[in-house]
Amino acid sequence: MQNLRLFVATALLAVLTIQVQAQGLGIRGGVNFQNINGKDALGDQLENDIVAGYHLGVIAEAELVPTFYFQSGLLYSVKGTKSTDDFLGQSITSTVKTGYLEVPLHFMFKPALGNGHLILGFGPYVAFGLNGKAKIETGGKNADWDVSFQRTVSASDNDETYYQKRFDAGGNLFFGYEFAGGLSVQLNTQLGMIKINPDYEGFDDKSKYFNTGFGLSAMYRIGPK
């Protein structure tokens, strides 16, 4: 509940920024290359593979002082991971994709460069899980599981479900270029700092899963160029 209140407060701040700074409103979309890193139940490093997702939403900017901006908005962002394991001589491939409503809270330096502006930015993000699917492939057979958002999993919970915590937060670092016509492109890296795997009743393990990744995006800014 505390995480939900924090997310709602942050989302309201983002919406207020969009409303107040309508002249800096933009539409952003792009591709995510995401993974889940961290440690497994034994404390060993996870060895997962990157999966592709996407992000899409609205962004607003407010100029704080010349060339220095605050940026926020609302994005739908798909994250996840892929892993392959061997069990009793059979290969098992698991792919997880989770959709989040994400609120970036960025500070940007935008000095003039040529006919446009260089973009250098950083800042935190908070995200709230909305939906997701896990696909299990083994022996030529596939199974699709829903992603269920829980902080704690008990022995009575459904085994054929992939469990995650709903709340995620971390940091972004990005750079790019904004052209004179209002179109900008950027490369973004993201590091999750909140453990997204739930706790299991009766088990005291060392697992810690974190969303990580990078992405490419384009944004078209509406309003004064």
Q: Which is higher by pLDDT, 89 or 84?
A: 84
Q: What was the pLDDT predicted at 102?
A: 96
pLDDT of residue 143: 85
Q: How far is CA 53 from CA 34, 64, 82, 94, 99, in A?
A: 7, 32, 12, 16, 9
Q: What is the CATH number of domain 2-221?
A: 2.40.160.20
* Per-residue confidence band for 22, with pLDDT thresholds at 50, 70 and 90: very low
* pLDDT at residue number 16: 54
Instruction: Please indicate whether residue 129 or residue 85 has the higher confidence score (pLDDT).
Output: 129
CB-side neighbour CA atoms (13 Å) of 140: 0
pLDDT level of residue 157 (50, 70, 90 thresholds): confident
pLDDT at residue 165 in the model = 95
* Lowest pLDDT segment from 115-119, 196-200, 205-209: 205-209
Q: How far apart are CA 192 and CA 204, in angstroms?
A: 23
pLDDT band at 8; cut points 50, 70, 90: low
| The one-letter amino acid at 96 | V
Interacting residues of 2 by C-beta distance below 8 A, sequence separation 6+ = none
Check: pTM over 0.85? Answer yes or no. yes
> Residue 218: its pLDDT value, please?
98
- d(CA 109, CA 122) in angstroms, rounded, equals 9
With a cut of 90, say whether residue 221 has pLDDT above it: no
pLDDT in tens, 37-83: 999 888 889 889 999 999 999 998 888 889 999 999 999 999 999 98
Confidence of residue 14 (pLDDT cuts 50, 70, 90): low
Higher pLDDT, 199 or 191: 191
Task: Please write the tens of the pLDDT for every residue from 162-178.
Answer: 899 999 999 999 999 99
User: Which pLDDT score, from 0 to 100, does residue 212 have?
Assistant: 97
Number of H helices, E strands in the chain: 1, 13
Mean residue pLDDT across the chain: 87
Which DSSP string do the residues of 182-205 spell out, in sequence order? SEEEEEEEEEE-S--SPEETT---
